[in-house]
Amino acid sequence: MAALRLRESVIAAKQKLAADREKLKRQHQAGTPGVQLCAQITDCFDAILLELVNEAAEDVPGFTAERVLSNITIVPHGGYGRRDTAPYSDIDLMIMHSPTFREPAIQFTKRLQQDVFDVGLILGHSLRTPKQAVSAALSDATIFTSLAENRYLAGSVSLFRDFAEPFRRRAKRNFRGLYRAIMNARDEERAQYGEIIHLLEPNIKRSSGTLRGIQMVRWLGFAKYGENEVDALNRIGAISDRDRKSLRDAREYLLRLRNELHFHAGKSSDLLDRAEQIRIAELYGFQGTAGLLPVEQFMQTYFEQTGGVRDAARHFIASIRPQSPITTIFGPIMTRRVDRDFHVSPYRISTSKRWKQHKAGQIDQVLELMIAASRFGRQIDHPTWEVIRSKMQGQGEVEMTEAIRRAFLTLLSEPGRLGELLRRLHELRLLEKIVPGMAHARCLLQFNQYHKYTVDAHCIKTVECATQFLERDDTLGAVYMKIKKKWLLHLALLIHDLGKGFSEDHSIVGARIAEDVADRFWLSSQDKETLVHLVLHHLTMSHLAFRRDTSDEQLVLSFAMQNGPAERMRMLFVLTCADFAGVGPGTLNDWKVRVLTDLYRRSMQNLGGDDTVDTVAQRRAKLDRLASLVRGHKNEEWYRHVIDSLPEGFLQETPATQIISDLEQLHAMKDDSPMVACQYREDRGVLEITIGTREALMQGVFHRLTAAVTSQRMTILAAEINTLADGLVLDRYFVQDQDHDGQSPPERMEDICQRIRKYLTATEDQAPTFTTTWTSRNQRLAEEAIPIPTEIKIDNETAEQYTIVEIFTQDRQGLLYQISRLLYDIGLSVHVARITTHLDQVVDVFYVTDSEGHKIFDQERLESIKRTLGEALVEQTS
């Protein structure tokens, strides 16, 4: 019935739009190139708009259509202006009018806006005179970049010329200010949509290296030269033939990909999320290999395209960057020559004409320049990069000479601008010539929710993160500063993940790569051994810290002996922290640093390093502090008895006043009212729920406690079981509240405590009720397409008193309760738990005994435990 109220012209346009979209969808599926299809979509929108424009012109009271159209002009701009229109794109129009024709223009615009909306198109529009349009564009970067992509569609041609020609001339005169404004606006957008091209769920329109990079070239080209077509910029020499080809090829690739996203979604969609990556990889025919999934192959191709856009756009932007007047005037005066060929100014380092002519094509000389740039803390100026880039393109295999070896290792020893310079070497494709394993890792996707960058980007990022530890004033910063062979640590970080993408364990493959790298750089036998050890064991410290009970001093001693001497332990500590930091923002938080630092300090005590921290003295000081807090208390003897039983981790991580508060509540606890406390931990960004009870009062205490926490809509991120003296249980859960982002309100935390107490004191052992949470279809498809396999491991060697059960599986709601209940049902008692999402998957680790408190040695029983857990968890994920 609603359609009957629409104008006939609108109904006809609506039908045409639907028919044309269906026709264009078939053409797309048949293989029509992206640029061609976008042009056809634009033609479709143009035809519809022209009909609606004519209808609207006839509907302006008191004016003929000819009079209206002689006083207005319709100007498509933005993506619609450059004919990059995707199937469900918005259309941006500027309706320009002569200065004396504003009121009729308003009437015209209202009719046109309503008709376009009724047709089913999304219209962004503005109403301006030519003078107003030019003024607005020159005062606002967003308006400028949109109007820089303009074309004539309908109305007065002379009115369009009154805008287009003055706009072009004034833009060129105002280039300096426009350049700054456009770059600032792009920086803000990049921060929102991803500053690195290797972001694993990119927005193909706005993320770095995508369509926005091509558009930046066009916008700045228009501001500088009055030209925005890449071919035109190439003809005037502003863009090289190679960069022109990179931009044209990437535009075709990205537009076709964007068309696919739009047609599949049936709406505007620019996010290449995990589910779409999987679907398109299959659609494009990627088959995968033993070490690479089809989706990883597809994304490697995608990142190759966006990497080309980034390089070409960065080069063009740097080539037209305006010099400040101060630099132009005083730069030559403040520049000093540091050797025959290098000149250092306040901000940049440049090279002589002789160097550009004779040395820019020599890798060892380029590395020497980078060493100087790092030592002086300067950027290499663009003219020098331009020559290097030109001469290094197409560089073949590189023979490792003594000059290259020495220069590269020297560069690695200079923390200053190391991350940035390694990135530039990688962009030039020189890094993979020097370190061959980088070629395999280039643009290699890590298809998981943990890593945020590709393998090559992650490896370089970890080096950069390590150099930034110099700015820390804690143990981590001091240890990094003390490392003598920083180049060796940086080399280990650079290659530590290069074993990914093969069928074999990446640490083992990485160790072989490390051996080859050591031989390539002619390292001493001792340095080679250290490099191989760091790469082979780069996960060992995090594995121990977050998946084992480090209160076991024998375990720490064994770790120290395996990873000593002291200098190698320092490197492993820094490497582990940098590996976390290089995963993505916020991954290395204060809590993780504290946990790793504690393990490092205790390990160094066993190694006798000269920076050993006396952890025994620290424990004694903490115990003395606790003793002083309970001295004279009527229950002092009880407090001392329980304090002596506190696990090392709990003792070190928990403030003394909180320990006493927890113990006070434990002592006052009644059998029918467990102790429950809740607080927000700023350092971890989570809620900490502390639960105290008596083990004798609840059979299978761990699964019941887990059920109690889970029942309150809490996502458990980590859990610690602490069995104290006299059968007291003090457990801590680190959770995220599904009902609140960040810190929960005080009333919510109090309600959580009351509900958990009620749950624990219930007479029946009841399973928790899980609140249904919304999961996007794309997320479900991604999880179903490439689920994390369930794996059960039994470790009977690490702990003397316990059998350790490791469970690797897909994270899901209520997982910890399901596992803890299974352990209880098969007759196991949990004494220690380490629950964490670590690296590529969820890892739940349990220290267990049989129901009588004994370690399990019977091999058939161990195999039965593995089989029962594995079958149950696989069934729950299917």
Residues 804-815: pLDDT tens digits? 998 888 776 677
The listed range with the strongest mean pLDDT (17-26, 559-568, 715-724, 771-780) is 17-26
DSSP string, 21-37: HHHHHHHHHTT--HHHH
Strands laid side by side in the 728-737 sheet: 675-681, 686-694, 728-737, 714-723
Average pLDDT over residues 306-312: 90
Average pLDDT over residues 148-155: 96
Amino acid 322: pLDDT: 87
Taking the C-alpha atoms of residue 174 and residue 176, their distance in angstroms, rounded to an integer, is 6
Is a pLDDT exceeding 80 seen at residue 193?
no
Angstrom CA distances, 626 to 11, 196, 632, 676, 720, stand at 81, 49, 12, 21, 21
Amino acid 677: pLDDT: 87
Q: Which residue has the tokens 């003295």?
A: 617
The pair of three-digit structure tokens given for residue 526, joined into one six-digit string: 């001792």
Is a pLDDT exceeding 50 seen at residue 61?
yes
- Smallest Cα–Cα separation from 307: which of 435, 460, 454, 192? 454
Split at pLDDT 50, 70, 90, the class of 331 is low
Average pLDDT over residues 144-152: 95
pLDDT in tens, 506-523: 999 999 999 999 999 999
Is a pLDDT exceeding 90 seen at residue 452?
no
Q: Provide the strand spans (E) within 604-723.
A: 675-681, 686-694, 714-723
> Contact 187/120 with Cβ under 8 angstroms?
no
Q: Which of 14-18, 377-381, 487-491 has the lowest mean pLDDT?
A: 377-381
- The three-state DSSP-derived secondary structure of 77-145 is EHHHHCCCCCCCCCEEEEEEECCCCHHHHHHHHHHHHHHHHHHCCCEEEEEECHHHHHHHHHHCHHHHH
- State what percent of residues in the chain have pLDDT above 90: 49
Amino acid 653: pLDDT: 74
The pair of three-digit structure tokens given for residue 470, joined into one six-digit string: 């110099």
Residues contacting residue 414 through CB under 8 Å, at least 6 positions apart: 371, 374, 375
- State what percent of residues in the chain have pLDDT above 70: 89
Is a pLDDT exceeding 70 seen at residue 877?
no
Is a pLDDT exceeding 70 seen at residue 784?
no
> Helix, strand or coil for residue 664?
helix
Amino acid 773: pLDDT: 43
Mean pLDDT of the chain: 86
Split at pLDDT 50, 70, 90, the class of 496 is very high
More confident residue, 712 or 502: 502
Is a pLDDT exceeding 70 seen at residue 337?
no
Is a pLDDT exceeding 50 seen at residue 776?
no
Q: Which residue has the tokens 């643009």?
A: 443
> Between β-strands 803-809 and 841-850, what pairing exists: parallel, antiparallel or unpaired?
antiparallel
The dihedral over CA atoms of 317, 323, 324, 325, expressed in degrees to the nearest 10, equals -160
Average pLDDT over residues 748-759: 84
Number of H-type helices and E-type strands within the chain: 40, 16
Any idea what DSSP says for residue 670? B
pLDDT in tens, 372-383: 998 888 888 888
Q: Where are the alpha helices (DSSP H) in 194-225?
A: 211-225
> Contact 691/698 with Cβ under 8 angstroms?
no
Burial (CB count <10 Å: 0-12, 13-18, 19+), residue 608? exposed
Is a pLDDT exceeding 60 seen at residue 566?
yes
> Contact 147/94 with Cβ under 8 angstroms?
yes
Is a pLDDT exceeding 80 seen at residue 778?
no
Is a pLDDT exceeding 80 seen at residue 645?
yes
Amino acid 172: pLDDT: 94
Is a pLDDT exceeding 90 seen at residue 21?
yes
Please name each of the domains of the chain with its CATH number.
2-173 (3.30.460.10), 190-320 (1.20.120.330), 332-416 (no CATH), 661-877 (no CATH)
Amino acid 782: pLDDT: 45
* CA dihedral sign, ordered 410, 413, 417, 419: positive
pLDDT in tens, 197-208: 456 678 899 888
Amino acid 408: pLDDT: 96
> Contact 257/280 with Cβ under 8 angstroms?
yes
More confident residue, 821 or 93: 93
Q: Which amino acid is at 222?
A: F
Taking the C-alpha atoms of residue 593 and residue 810, their distance in angstroms, rounded to an integer, is 26
Average pLDDT over residues 421-445: 90
- Smallest Cα–Cα separation from 382: which of 356, 346, 411? 356
Is a pLDDT exceeding 60 seen at residue 449?
no
Scored b (16 or more CB within 10 A) or e, 94-118 reads bbbbbeebeebbebbbebbbebbeb
Distance, CA of 750 to chain centre: 35
Is a pLDDT exceeding 60 seen at residue 783?
no
Amino acid 839: pLDDT: 40
pLDDT in tens, 571-599: 999 999 999 999 877 788 888 898 899 89
Is a pLDDT exceeding 90 seen at residue 257?
yes
565 preceded by a cis bond (ω within 30 of 0): yes
Amino acid 652: pLDDT: 73
Amino acid 817: pLDDT: 81
pLDDT in tens, 472-485: 988 999 999 999 99
Amino acid 608: pLDDT: 65
The pair of three-digit structure tokens given for residue 229, joined into one six-digit string: 């077509």
> Contact 847/833 with Cβ under 8 angstroms?
yes
More confident residue, 524 or 816: 524
More confident residue, 362 or 770: 362
Amino acid 706: pLDDT: 81
